[in-house]
Structure 1
Amino acid sequence: MIFQSCSPRDALNQPGIRTLILLLAFVSLYVIYGSLYFYRDPLSIFFSQEHGFDRFYSAVRQAEADEFFDAALANPDLARQQLGKAGTHPEICAVFITVGRDMEGRQYIDSAVGSFLANMSRAGREATHLKIFFADVPDPNNQHKSYAKLVDAGITDEIFSYPSTLPAQNKDHKIKELMNFAKDKQNKHALERKTVYDYAYALDRCVKTTDAPYIALLEGDILLADGWAARTLMNLRTIETMMQDPRRRDPQRGQVEPGVSNTWLYLRLFNQERSFGWSGGTGFRSNNIHIISAAVSIPLFLVLLLVRRQLPRHYSRHLDKWTILVVCGIAVPLYVWLFYASGKASLIGSPPGVREEFFGCCNQALVYNRAHAGALAEYMMKASENVSPGRSDMLPKQFAWDHGLARVSAYPMLAQHSGRVSAIDTSNDEAKRVWSMAFEDLKPYKLAKTHVKDVQALFGNDAAEQMRKQWSSGHNEVRILSE
Structure 2
Amino acid sequence: MNFSQPGFRTLILLLAIVISYVTFGYFNFYRDPLSIFFSEEHGFDRFYSATRQAEADAFLDLLEANPDAVRSRLAKAGPTPEICAVFLTIGREMEGRQYVETAVGSFLANMSRAEREAIHLKLFFADVPTPETQHKSYARLATADIADEIVTYRGSLPDSDQEKQMALLQSWFKDRHHKSMIERKTLYDYAYSLRRCIQTTEAPYIALFEDDILLADGWAAWTLKNLHTLGQMMKDPRRHDPTPGRVEPGGPNSWLYLRMFNQERSSGWGGGYGFRSNNAHIISLAVSIPLLGIILFARRFLLPRYLVRHIDGWVILITCGVAVPLFVWLFFASGKASLVPSPPGVYEEWFGCCSQALVFNRRYAQELSDFFMAATTKPGRAGRGDMLPKDFAWEHGLARVSAYPMLAQHLGRISATGTTSVEANRIWSMAFENLKAHKLASDHIRHVEELFGEEAVREMIRHSQPGLVYE
TM-score, normalized by length of structure 2? 0.96
Indicate conservation of the 8 Å contact 1:251/1:261, yes or no. Answer: no
Would you say 1:199 and 2:190 are equivalent positions? yes
- Residue 313 of structure 1 deviates from its aligned partner by 4.3
Matches within 5 A, 1:220-369: 220-257=211-248, 262-310=253-301, 311-369=303-361
Separation of aligned partners in 2, 1:260 and 1:412: 26
Secondary structure at the counterpart of residue 9 of structure 2: helix
Secondary structure at the counterpart of residue 319 of structure 1: coil
- Residue 268 of structure 1 deviates from its aligned partner by 0.8
Would you say 1:143 and 2:134 are equivalent positions? yes
**Judging changes above 3 Å, is the alpha-carbon distance between structure 1 residues 155 and 261 closer, same or farther for their aligned structure 2 residues?**
closer
Unaligned 5+ segments in structure 2 are: none
Deviates more, 1:322-331 or 1:218-227: 322-331
- 1:439 matched to which residue of 2? 432
Separation of aligned partners in 1, 2:86 and 2:217: 18
- Residue 248 of structure 1 deviates from its aligned partner by 2.2
- Residue 244 of structure 1 deviates from its aligned partner by 1.3
Indicate conservation of the 8 Å contact 2:249/2:398, yes or no. Answer: no
Indicate conservation of the 8 Å contact 1:19/1:323, yes or no. Answer: yes
- Residue 462 of structure 1 deviates from its aligned partner by 0.7
Matches within 5 A, 1:371-382: 371-382=363-374
Q: Deviations over 1:246-274 (max 9, x none)?
A: 22233332233166675111111111111
Q: Deviations over 1:205-224 (max 9, x none)?
A: 11101111111100000000
Secondary structure at the counterpart of residue 113 of structure 1: helix
Secondary structure at the counterpart of residue 237 of structure 1: helix
Indicate conservation of the 8 Å contact 1:261/1:406, yes or no. Answer: no
Indicate conservation of the 8 Å contact 1:251/1:262, yes or no. Answer: no
Q: Deviations over 1:50-77 (max 9, x none)?
A: 1111111110000000110121122211
Indicate conservation of the 8 Å contact 1:249/1:261, yes or no. Answer: no
Would you say 1:419 and 2:394 are equivalent positions? no
Separation of aligned partners in 2, 1:217 and 1:463: 26
- Residue 304 of structure 1 deviates from its aligned partner by 2.0
- Residue 173 of structure 1 deviates from its aligned partner by 2.5
Q: How many residues are paired up? A: 467
Counterpart of 1:95 (choices 78, 86, 90) is 86
Indicate conservation of the 8 Å contact 2:248/2:398, yes or no. Answer: no
- 1:8 matched to which residue of 2? none
Unaligned 5+ segments in structure 1 are: 3-10
Separation of aligned partners in 1, 2:260 and 2:356: 8
Q: Deviations over 1:164-212 (max 9, x none)?
A: 1112233222222222212233311111001000111111111101111
Secondary structure at the counterpart of residue 273 of structure 2: coil
Counterpart of 2:462 (choices 447, 469, 472) is 469
- Residue 46 of structure 1 deviates from its aligned partner by 0.6
- Residue 424 of structure 1 deviates from its aligned partner by 0.8
Aligned-residue identity in percent: 63
- 1:6 matched to which residue of 2? none
Indicate conservation of the 8 Å contact 2:239/2:249, yes or no. Answer: no
Q: Deviations over 1:90-143 (max 9, x none)?
A: 111100000011112221001100000000000000111111000011111111
Separation of aligned partners in 2, 1:256 and 1:312: 53
Matches within 5 A, 1:49-128: 49-128=40-119
- 2:386 matched to which residue of 1? 393
Secondary structure at the counterpart of residue 475 of structure 1: coil
Secondary structure at the counterpart of residue 155 of structure 1: coil
Q: Deviations over 1:373-428 (max 9, x none)?
A: 11111111121111321111111111111111111111111111111111112111
Indicate conservation of the 8 Å contact 1:222/1:364, yes or no. Answer: yes
Matches within 5 A, 1:6-85: 11-85=2-76
Q: Deviations over 1:24-67 (max 9, x none)?
A: 11101100100111111111111111111111111000000011
Separation of aligned partners in 2, 1:330 and 1:220: 50
Separation of aligned partners in 2, 1:77 and 1:50: 43
**Judging changes above 3 Å, is the alpha-carbon distance between structure 1 residues 255 and 295 closer, same or farther for their aligned structure 2 residues?**
closer
Aligned CA-pair RMSD: 1.6
Question: Once superposed, which parts of structure 1, at least 4 consecutive aligned residues long, lie more than 4 Å away?
Answer: 258-262, 310-313
- 2:442 matched to which residue of 1? 449
- 2:169 matched to which residue of 1? 178
Secondary structure at the counterpart of residue 164 of structure 1: helix
Separation of aligned partners in 1, 2:378 and 2:64: 42
| AA in 1 matched with 2:126 | A
